Structure 1
Amino acid sequence: EILGFGRNTIYQWSHRTPSIERVKKVADYFGVSLDYLTGRSSKKDISKIDLATVPDGVLTFEGKEIPEDELEIIRHLLRNKPSK
């Protein structure tokens, strides 16, 4: 009910595949990864990367490497983002 699902929604998942959006809601609610929720991983926690302290290594976005100069722009934007 908290997630806005109908009364029988989760019961129906035993014989009907849920939408990815609903599965994401459940994972977010419980604070676990989609892989953990679907049994693809035994690691419960979601990996978190702090861009302010990323050690040497390669970060990617959609399979493409993010150059260091662009990472600096992203860090700058995030640091100077006005609070709501």
Structure 2
Amino acid sequence: MTLVTRIKQLAEEKKVTFAEVERAVGISNGQIRRWDRVSPKSENLKKVADYFGVTTDFLLGSNQAPKWANTDDLFELDKMLNSNVNMAYGGETLTEQEKQRVKDVLTGLFWEFRKRDKEK
């Protein structure tokens, strides 16, 4: 699935057009559609990810999903990881590197549990 396809699915879910997304995040008209041919600037990709409440990794499809995973699985994983963003231990907020390590563990557990549920 391409970047533009993922954004299209998110836009359909939210019932907005690409033009509405582009206006809302402050990027030029027609920008998103061009991302099938040209790599987006990282700051623009981040703006779109933030608009939809997903990670840039999700948009780029770089979440190391198993071959059997479907779009619903990917949305659920991303939702779970985003709900755990403000992580702390002993009253101190984790560093970005520590947060990423926790997210990696959560991702592994997510796929284990998801696979087990699908096999039932």
Bin the TM-score by the shorter chain.
Answer: 0.5 to 0.7
User: 1:15 maps to what in 2?
Assistant: 37
Unaligned runs of 5+ in 2: 1-22, 64-73, 99-120
Scaled by the length of structure 2, what TM-score is found?
0.41
Instruction: Say whether residues 1:39 and 2:61 are aligned partners.
Output: yes
Select the structure of larger CA radius of gyration: 1
User: 1:48 maps to what in 2?
Assistant: 85
State the number of aligned residues: 58
The structure richer in helix per residue is 2
Instruction: Say whether residues 1:28 and 2:83 are aligned partners.
Output: no
Higher-RCO chain (CA-CA 8 Å, sequence separation at least 6): 2
Q: 1:4-57 deviations in whole A, cap 9, x for unaligned?
A: 111111111110000000010011111111211111222212232343xx26xx
Scaled by the length of structure 1, what TM-score is found?
0.56
**Structure 1 residues 6, 40: CA separation in 2 closer, same or farther (over 3 Å shift)?**
same
In structure 1, C-alpha distance between the alignment counterparts of 2:26 and 2:95, rounded to whole Å:
34
Unaligned runs of 5+ in 1: 64-84
Instruction: Let me know the Cα RMSD of the aligned residues.
Output: 2.2
In structure 2, C-alpha distance between the alignment counterparts of 1:32 and 1:12, rounded to whole Å:
20
**Moved >3 Å (runs of 4+):** 59-63
In structure 2, C-alpha distance between the alignment counterparts of 1:31 and 1:38, rounded to whole Å:
14
In structure 2, C-alpha distance between the alignment counterparts of 1:5 and 1:61, rounded to whole Å:
27
